[in-house]
Structure formats: C-alpha cells, structure tokens
Amino acid sequence: MIAIYLVLASIRAGIRIAAVASIIGLASLIAAWITGSAFTQHGASGYSMAMGVLTAVTLLCYTVDVKASAAAGNRAARHNAPQKQR
C-alpha cells in the first residue's frame, strides 16, 4: 500500500524523477515477491538470485525517490523563504 501511495504522491507533486523511481520500485517489488514465491515452490537458485537483485533495485529506487523528493522540498523552501531586506 505504501508503494502505491508513493507512486501517486510523486505524480501529484510533479516530481518526475521521483515518479519514475517509484513506479520502477513498485514494479521491482512485485517482481521480487513473485520470484521469491517461485523460489519457495521450486527451490531453484536462479529465483533466489533474481529475488535478491530485484530487492536491491527496489531499495535503490526508493533511495532515489527520497533524495529527489527532499531536493524538490529544499528548492520549494528556498523559493518561498522571505527575502532579507538590506
């Protein structure tokens, strides 16, 4: 549920890189879940490797998402900050 919320929130905020990272993160999270399920059913080591790699992709995407959202928030805060009078 949180992954879906992140996709929707980043799209609504208009942060393109965060939206793309959230969509890829959600897709890789679902794929990791599917390959993990296949690993428990079949026991093939390829499924385990795929699950691990997809989990790493998911973590990387959400790290990019957090960094992009924080950078956009910092830009907005600087833009809206009151200007000092000289």
Give the burial class of 34: count Cβ atoms within 10 A of its Cβ; 0-12 exposed, 13-18 middle, 19 or more buried. middle
What's the pLDDT at 77?
Answer: 66
Interval 4-24: pLDDT, tens: 999 999 999 999 999 999 999
Which pTM value belongs to this model? 0.82
